[in-house]
Amino acid sequence: MKKFLCIALAVVLTLGMVAAFAACSKDKGGETTAAATTETKETLVMATNAEFPPYEFHEGDKIVGIDAEIAQAIADKLGMELKIEDVQFDSIIPGVQAKKYDMGMAGMTVTDERKESVNFSDSYAKGVQVVIIKEDSDIKSIKDLEGKKIGVQTSTTGDIYATDDFGEENITKFDNGAMATQALVAGKVDCVIIDNEPAKNYVKANAGLKILETSYVEEDYAICFNKENTELMNKVNGALKELIADGTVKSIVDKYIKAD
């Protein structure tokens, strides 16, 4: 009997020690994780479509451009680590809604329709929708676009406005502006409607093209956020305000857009 009690006591003691040890190491584990988070910077995941010079484009294996640099300056100010994800333009907003990305920054125009899905930061740049044509084109004004074959980048404001104004049947959609411009060079479309700065880049890169004098629509660019994440948006707006006030945003823009 005594022997049995002894064994039982030993078992209880051993179990107790195991439990105490487990609790101890769990504590230790908890401490390690807490210490690591204070040392590692929080990541700021930005979704973009890096086919939109001078706002975002590839330079070697890096994504550079106005948006990439402004985002980096914002991340630096917030003490965060910027991570850029290059995705199709039309998956940026759904990805932000699904919380796959913290924000979307892609020369993105603020529209009422998009505002139903995401929140927009303060605007940091202006865009203008313009029309790229061949130098010898008979298109002289926006009116002349009636019945013409119009190339656009899928889901952009150029696509949305042109579809509304000139009819779905006249619109050919491309994955990006470079592909739309190639179709214009090849004579597959009569013009391309796209934002002015990328348009200038595409015209420079392809002989025989020009931009129609009259612009189509003027718009504001801003960064989009998940509707629930107003905390991050407010922080980004604060950083953006300072970067505009101290001239950082202007110097980034001037670096990529030379007065001509």
* Contact set with ligand GLN (CB under 6 A): 49, 52, 89, 106-109, 127, 153, 156-157, 195
Is 119 or 153 the residue whose CB approaches ligand GLN more closely?
Answer: 153
Is 106 or 212 the residue whose CB approaches ligand GLN more closely?
Answer: 106
Write b or e for each residue in 180-213: b if 16 or more Cβ atoms lie within 10 A of its Cβ, otherwise e.
Answer: bbbbbbeeebbbbbbbbbbbbbbbeeeeebebbe
Least distance CB 34 / ligand GLN (angstroms): 40
Is 129 or 226 the residue whose CB approaches ligand GLN more closely?
Answer: 129
Least distance CB 150 / ligand GLN (angstroms): 15
Cis peptide before 54 (omega within 30 of 0): yes
Is 106 or 232 the residue whose CB approaches ligand GLN more closely?
Answer: 106
3-class secondary structure, 134: strand
Least distance CB 205 / ligand GLN (angstroms): 16
Is 78 or 253 the residue whose CB approaches ligand GLN more closely?
Answer: 253
User: Cα 39 vs. chain centroid, distance in angstroms?
Assistant: 27
Instruction: Provide the token pair at 163.
Output: 């579809």
Cα 158 to Cα 178: distance, rounded to the nearest angstrom: 14
Q: Check the CA dihedral 58-126-142-148 and report its sign.
A: positive
Q: Are strands 150-153 and 171-174 parallel, antiparallel or unpaired?
A: parallel
Least distance CB 170 / ligand GLN (angstroms): 19
Least distance CB 218 / ligand GLN (angstroms): 11
User: Cα 257 vs. chain centroid, distance in angstroms?
Assistant: 19
Least distance CB 157 / ligand GLN (angstroms): 4
Q: How many CB atoms lie within 10 A of CB 73?
A: 20
Q: Check the CA dihedral 130-136-138-141 and report its sign.
A: positive
Is 67 or 190 the residue whose CB approaches ligand GLN more closely?
Answer: 67
Is 30 or 104 the residue whose CB approaches ligand GLN more closely?
Answer: 104
Please name the residues in contact with 241: beta carbons below 8 A apart, sequence gap of 6 or more. 122
Least distance CB 135 / ligand GLN (angstroms): 24
Cα 226 to Cα 13: distance, rounded to the nearest angstrom: 53
